[in-house]
Amino acid sequence: MTEHRLTTLPEPPYYAVIFTSLLSDDTAGYEPVAERMMALAAQQPGFLGVESAREQVGITVSYWQDEASIRQWQTHAEHQLAQKLGKERWYATFALQVARVERSYCFP
């Protein structure tokens, strides 16, 4: 699986937003909006990278320079519309955690 790479990140400190979710039975329209949000996030000031995977649980971790960048992205108009649809339709449940990355280690 060497066609994929992990996100390259700077030296800490920086911020991580850990978003975990379970989808509802109504996922019509979810996929393109999720992809659009990943692409839109990547254009925001302070964005450093994102990783995402879903099995039973979906986990998306996005990385940001500082808390201000995170707050700005959370209030972005198109993102807020997606958040509304997410709550009304697509997510059975989700949790969002904002964390300050203090140390990191990469292999190799």
Single out the residue of 6, 28, 39, 77 in contact with a second copy (rule: CB under 8 A): 6
Residues facing residue 61 across a β-bridge: 18, 51
Quick one: tokens of 18?
Answer: 């850990």
Token pair belonging to 73: 């992205």
Among 45, 54, 80, 81, binds a second copy (CB under 8 A): 54
Comparing CA positions, the residue from 102, 96, 82 lying closest to residue 18 is 96
Please select the residue that binds a second copy; options are 34, 44, 58, 79, rule is CB under 8 A.
58
The number of beta carbons lying within 10 Å of the beta carbon of residue 70 is 21
Q: Considering the complex, state which of residue 5 and residue 43 has its C-beta at the smaller distance from a second copy.
A: 5
Residues 96, 23, 7: CA angle, nearest 5 degrees: 55
Residue choice 10, 35, 45, 52 for contact with a second copy (CB under 8 A): 52
The footprint of a second copy on residues 59-98 (CB under 8 A) is 59, 61, 87, 91-98
Binding residues for a second copy restricted to 12-41, rule: CB under 8 A = 12, 16, 18, 20-23, 25
CB 15 within 8 A of CB 101: yes
Q: Which residues bind a second copy (CB under 8 A)?
A: 1-2, 4-7, 9, 12, 16, 18, 20-23, 25, 51-59, 61, 87, 91-108
